[in-house]
């Protein structure tokens, strides 16, 4: 059966323009993968409600305002027979970093320069390319990928 996943992510910048990433150890095997804070929209929840909840759980920060849709991506993972649709929103926040992930997957939350982001997200084109484009001034684009390591199409 084909799986459809709706994901939201927050682009949170500090005063120096660094981007907040969280380190995920989903399999609890010590293999940390970095992403923007965010996650799956749960049944009965709007995308914006999920964004606020996920940021709080993964970082301890409180979303003050959701400013705009930064970009959207679609990943068709034929190997896993699943489609992921992800929306990244620029948001402002308050509070101190204090991750309290109820799932226990988040092992780190900290701010990175765009150059460090490129290293942390290397190999995950659907995570890296739209974010770097956005940080470079592009907004509202849609990206389509046929896999997590495959080249994509930008509209």
pLDDT at position 63 is 98
Q: Which of the two residues, 25 and 154, has the higher pLDDT score? A: 154
- In this prediction, residue 102 carries a pLDDT of 80
The pLDDT tens digits for 77-134 are 988 899 999 999 999 999 999 988 787 789 899 999 999 999 999 989 999 999 999 9
In the beta sheet, which residues pair with residue 4?
83
Q: What is the pLDDT of residue 99?
A: 85
pLDDT tens track for 18-29: 999 999 987 667
Q: What pLDDT is recorded for position 27?
A: 66
State how far the alpha carbon of 43 is from the alpha carbons of 34, 46, 81, in Å. Answer: 25, 8, 21
Around Cβ 147, how many Cβ atoms within 10 Å?
A: 15
In three-state secondary structure terms, 136 is: coil
State the pLDDT at residue 28.
Answer: 65
pLDDT in tens, 35-51: 999 999 999 999 999 99
* Per-residue pLDDT at 155: 94
Looking at residues 59-71, what average pLDDT do you find? 97
Domains and CATH numbers, the chain: 3-154 (3.90.79.10)
The reported pTM is: 0.94
Residue 61: what pLDDT? 97
Confidence (pLDDT) at 120: 95
- Other CB atoms within a 10 A radius of the CB of residue 142 amount to 14
């Amino acid at each position: 059966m084909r799986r459809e996943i709706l994901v939201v992510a927050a682009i949170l910048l500090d005063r120096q323009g660094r981007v907040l990433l969280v380190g995920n150890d989903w399999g609890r095997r010590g293999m940390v993968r970095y992403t923007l804070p965010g996650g799956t929209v749960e049944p009965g929840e709007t995308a914006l409600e999920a964004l606020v909840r996920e940021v709080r759980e993964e970082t301890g920060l409180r979303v003050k305002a959701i400013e705009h849709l930064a970009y959207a991506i679609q990943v068709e993972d034929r190997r896993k027979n699943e489609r992921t649709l992800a929306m990244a929103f620029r948001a402002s926040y308050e509070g101190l970093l204090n991750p309290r992930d109820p799932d226990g997957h988040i092992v780190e939350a900290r701010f990175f320069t765009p150059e460090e982001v490129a290293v942390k997200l290397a190999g995950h084109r659907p995570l890296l390319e739209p974010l770097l484009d956005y940080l470079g001034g592009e907004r509202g684009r849609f990206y389509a990928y046929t896999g997590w390591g495959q080249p994509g199409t930008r509209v």
